[in-house]
């Protein structure tokens, strides 16, 4: 399905606005053409033609019958002019015609505003739907899939490309609805005035359309490249913002600015090419229009001078109607350019929206509900996982069982697979081979036992609470951050969670206490405060399974001791997997799993592993862990 058709489908919820807009545009066009046609009686009166033509009323039907021919149309106009002049006089006729024209122009602009009023609903509604669909898609994607795309590029598509769709495609479609009506109506009237002159237009129009279409296709290709380059610019900008402290600390501002200049120059050249091709539309269409105007003026003037049946008043009116066609054709040509440019932006949007959702439930899932004290056991059965593009697996044939209420510490060298194991358990990604089982029920569809329906993603994640090394807070208030995911936050419960996480004191010292917005990423708090807020969030959730990925890494020794006590209390009766870097945390674990190169190389308590003098003992002796 083409991007344009998909954009049209988004208009379905706004069909009433679309229908009303189309209706008002039809009325606008009819009134516009009729109001312009009032120029003929004015000219006839001024030139005195109305007094020289008199047709009997009984010939009215005969005068109207040949109205599609040049003589019939002029005779029809002349008849009414003559009747009005006889009844009201030339000046009275002129006054009435001018007043009628004023009323028609007023009605024309009322209809136009009514059409635009409805188009505003359609345009903004579709773009809001696009943004909402894109955001929903991002939330449904696996974190690994999102990390493969640059955040700056995704943001560019969500902002620049959506805006491009609104102002290019939808504005273009607005013109493509309105202007063709003007063109068709004008052509019908022009044909009634003089079929000979109109034939010239019908010969020129297809040639002009073919030329404009050829340039339009070239614009779409250039536009797609330009949008990609703008995405590169936003990605570079986002990278500089995120790494500002590092750039300044290493005095790498000049180096980073040179990198930015390179992508910025590429974007400049690409967008300049788009603008140059787009700006060609208006002068090209105007040139074609002027050429046609001069041809009509020459042939029409020759017919008037030769007395071929075309009057001077009708020729002037014909030229005015034709002149109305020039901006209409210009608008159509610009609309075609914009639609092509917007189509390229829509393709980029749908590239994101068509990304596969890897972490999904199969059609049938197990009606599993996590017990209040957690699953009896969590089992990793020959689990393998390899990151896309990696040469070796991050998890390589790991088998492990974690029992209810047990605290298991995951330790090992950097890159050993600790965080990957946490991500697999929370289903941020799925194993490439092997299976994770919860009380012997698979987390994902099993190839070995396809008859086993897996646990639903929603049910499993409802049993988890996560704290990561880099505590992330949202730009909402303190209560909403701690009660994240709870549609009805309980402040008393949040207060107890904050107290347990040693966060209560600084929360109640905030300017607006619990309703203080914390800023983007929790920027109004220190690193340790953000970490304690994240711990409070996990405690508030009261999930039976806790996943702690170096949860105390940002705390000083005193706060770490207090928070560790809170975590120990929170872990009572719960299953806890903790990626730890502090020796105190590791020593308190019921069991320690040592991972290296994605494999479990050692298992046991602190005392047992130290006595083995293996990798764990070596890590302790080389001060891999903080005291």
User: CB–CB of 194/29 below 8 Å?
Assistant: no
CA pair distance 527, 85, nearest whole angstrom = 88
Alpha-carbon distances, residue 52 vs 45, 75, 86, 431, 598 (angstroms): 10, 12, 11, 94, 102
Q: Which residues on adjacent β-strands are paired with residue 579?
A: 410, 549
Domain for residue 393, yes or no?
no
The residue-averaged pLDDT of 102-114 equals 85
Q: Which residues on adjacent β-strands are paired with residue 594?
A: 411, 602
Burial 263-300 (b: 16+ CB within 10 A, else e): bbebbeebbebbeebbebbeebbeebbeebbeebeeeb
Specify burial of residue 388 (Cβ count, 10 A radius: 0-12, 13-18, 19+). Answer: exposed
**Structural domain count, the chain:** 2
Q: Out of 107-121, 127-141, 534-548, which region has the weakest mean confidence (pLDDT)?
A: 127-141
User: CB–CB of 327/285 below 8 Å?
Assistant: no
Distance of CA 441 to the CA centre of its chain: 38
pLDDT higher than 60, residue 233? yes
Per-residue pLDDT tens for 186-225?
A: 777 777 777 777 777 777 767 666 666 666 666 556 666 7
- pLDDT, residue 379, reads 92
| Same domain as 183, residue 77 | yes
Per-residue pLDDT tens for 36-82?
A: 666 666 665 666 544 444 444 444 444 443 443 444 555 566 666 67
Domain for residue 316, yes or no?
yes
CA pair distance 277, 223, nearest whole angstrom = 10
| Same domain as 419, residue 348 | no
CA pair distance 357, 101, nearest whole angstrom = 60
Of the chain, the end-to-end C-alpha distance in Å amounts to 60
| Same domain as 245, residue 317 | yes
Highest mean pLDDT among 152-156, 544-548, 572-576, 617-621: 544-548
The residue-averaged pLDDT of 487-506 equals 87
- pLDDT, residue 361, reads 80
Residue linked to tokens 């994607």: 141
Last residue of a domain, one of 353, 379, 394: 353
Last residue of a domain, one of 320, 336, 353: 353
| Same domain as 196, residue 47 | yes
pLDDT higher than 80, residue 157? no
Nearest to 79 by CA among 49, 106, 107, 47: 49
- pLDDT, residue 235, reads 73
- pLDDT, residue 223, reads 66
| Same domain as 14, residue 101 | yes
Domain for residue 297, yes or no?
yes
Residue linked to tokens 């009605």: 107
567: tokens are: 């975590």
Whole-prediction pTM value?
0.67
What percentage of the chain has pLDDT greater than the value 70? 77
CATH number at residue 142: 1.20.1560.10
25: tokens are: 């545009």
- pLDDT, residue 591, reads 92
| Same domain as 415, residue 301 | no
Helix (H), strand (E) at residue 577? strand 575-579
The residue-averaged pLDDT of 92-97 equals 76
User: Quick one: three-class SS letters along 156-204?
Assistant: HHHHHHHHHHHHHHHHHHHHHHHHHHHHHHHHHHHHHHCHHHHHHHHHH
- pLDDT, residue 67, reads 41
- pLDDT, residue 49, reads 45
CA pair distance 536, 337, nearest whole angstrom = 54
| Same domain as 224, residue 162 | yes
Domain for residue 451, yes or no?
no
What sign results for the dihedral spanned by CA atoms 244, 248, 249, 254?
positive
- pLDDT, residue 401, reads 92
- pLDDT, residue 61, reads 45
Give the domain extent around 487: 405-427+456-621
Per-residue pLDDT tens for 338-352?
A: 777 777 778 877 877
- pLDDT, residue 442, reads 87
CATH number at residue 548: 3.40.50.300
Main-chain dihedrals φ then ψ at residue 593, nearest 5 degrees? -110, 120
What percentage of the chain has pLDDT greater than the value 90? 4
CA pair distance 370, 464, nearest whole angstrom = 10
CA pair distance 515, 522, nearest whole angstrom = 13
pLDDT higher than 80, residue 616? yes
Per-residue pLDDT tens for 525-569?
A: 887 788 888 888 888 888 899 888 876 665 666 666 766 776 776
Specify burial of residue 498 (Cβ count, 10 A radius: 0-12, 13-18, 19+). Answer: buried
User: CB–CB of 149/352 below 8 Å?
Assistant: yes
Specify burial of residue 607 (Cβ count, 10 A radius: 0-12, 13-18, 19+). Answer: exposed
Pairing verdict, β 395-403 and 599-604: unpaired
Look over the chain and give the mean of its residue pLDDT values, rounded to a whole number.
Answer: 77
Burial 448-481 (b: 16+ CB within 10 A, else e): eeeeebbbbeebbbebbbbbbbebebeeebbbbb
Per-residue pLDDT tens for 248-267?
A: 655 667 777 887 888 888 88
Domain for residue 251, yes or no?
yes
User: CB–CB of 30/185 below 8 Å?
Assistant: yes
- pLDDT, residue 29, reads 79
- pLDDT, residue 466, reads 85
Last residue of a domain, one of 337, 353, 369: 353
Per-residue pLDDT tens for 292-338?
A: 777 777 777 777 777 666 666 677 777 777 777 767 776 776 777 77
Q: 3-class DSSP state for residue 442?
A: strand
| Same domain as 260, residue 178 | yes
């Amino acid at each position: 399905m083409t991007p344009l058709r998909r954009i049209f489908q988004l208009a379905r919820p706004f069909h009433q606005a679309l229908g009303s807009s189309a209706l008002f545009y039809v009325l606008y066009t009819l009134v516009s053409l009729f109001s312009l046609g009032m120029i003929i009686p004015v000219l006839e009166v001024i030139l005195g033609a109305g007094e020289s033509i008199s047709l009997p009323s009984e010939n009215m039907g005969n005068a109207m019958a040949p109205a599609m021919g040049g003589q019939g149309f002029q005779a029809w106009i002349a008849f009414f002019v003559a009747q009005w002049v006889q009844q009201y006089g030339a000046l009275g006729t002129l006054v009435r015609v001018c007043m009628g024209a004023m009323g028609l122009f007023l009605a024309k602009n009322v209809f136009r505003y009514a059409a635009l009023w409805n188009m505003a609903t359609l345009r903004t509604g579709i773009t809001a739907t696009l943004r909402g669909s894109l955001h929903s898609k991002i939330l449904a994607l696996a974190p690994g899939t999102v990390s493969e795309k640059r955040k700056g590029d995704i943001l560019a598509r969500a902002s620049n490309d959506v805006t491009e769709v609104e102002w290019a495609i939808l504005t273009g479609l607005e013109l493509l609805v309105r202007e063709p009506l003007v063109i068709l109506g004008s052509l019908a009237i022009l044909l009634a005035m003089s079929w000979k002159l109109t034939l010239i237009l019908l010969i020129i129009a297809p040639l002009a359309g073919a030329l404009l279409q050829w340039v339009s296709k070239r614009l779409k290709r250039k536009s797609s490249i330009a949008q990609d380059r703008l995405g590169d610019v936003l990605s570079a900008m986002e990278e500089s913002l995120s790494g500002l402290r590092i750039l300044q600390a290493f005095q790498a501002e000049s180096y980073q600015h040179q990198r930015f200049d390179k992508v910025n120059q590429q974007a400049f050249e690409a967008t300049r090419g788009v603008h140059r091709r787009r700006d060609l539309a208006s002068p090209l269409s105007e040139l074609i229009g002027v050429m046609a105007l001069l041809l009509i003026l020459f042939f029409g003037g020759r017919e008037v001078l030769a007395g071929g049946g075309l009057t001077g008043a009708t020729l002037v009116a014909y030229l005015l109607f034709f002149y109305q066609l020039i901006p209409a054709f210009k608008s159509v040509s610009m609309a075609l350019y914009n639609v092509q440019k917007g189509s390229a932006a829509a393709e980029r949007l749908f590239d994101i929206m068509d990304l596969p959702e890897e972490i999904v439930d199969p059609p049938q899932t197990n009606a599993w509900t996590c017990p209040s004290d957690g699953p009896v056991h969590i089992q990793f059965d020959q689990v393998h996982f390899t990151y896309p593009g990696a040469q070796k697996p991050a998890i390589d044939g790991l088998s492990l069982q974690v029992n209810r209420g047990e605290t298991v510490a995951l330790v090992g060298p950097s890159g050993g697979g600790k965080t990957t194991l946490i991500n697999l358990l929370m289903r941020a990604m799925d194993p490439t081979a092997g299976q994770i089982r919860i009380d012997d029920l698979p987390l994902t569809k099993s190839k070995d036992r396809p008859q086993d329906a897996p646990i639903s993603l929603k049910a499993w994640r409802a049993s988890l609470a996560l704290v990561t090394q880099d505590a992330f807070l949202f730009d909402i208030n303190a209560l909403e951050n701690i009660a994240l995911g709870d549609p009805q936050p309980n402040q008393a419960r949040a207060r107890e969670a904050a107290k347990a996480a040693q966060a209560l004191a600084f929360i109640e010292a905030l300017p607006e206490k619990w309703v203080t917005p914390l800023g983007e990423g929790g920027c109004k708090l220190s690193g340790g405060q953000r970490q304690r807020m994240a711990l409070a969030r996990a405690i508030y959730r009261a999930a039976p399974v806790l996943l702690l990925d170096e949860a105390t890494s940002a705390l000083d020794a005193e706060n770490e001791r207090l928070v560790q006590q809170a975590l120990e209390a929170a872990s009572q009766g719960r299953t806890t997997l903790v990626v730890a870097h502090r020796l105190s945390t590791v020593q308190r674990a019921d069991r320690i799993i040592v991972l290296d190169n994605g494999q479990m190389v050692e298992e046991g308590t602190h005392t047992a592993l130290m006595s083995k003098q293996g990798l764990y003992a070596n890590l302790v002796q080389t001060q891999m862990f903080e005291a």
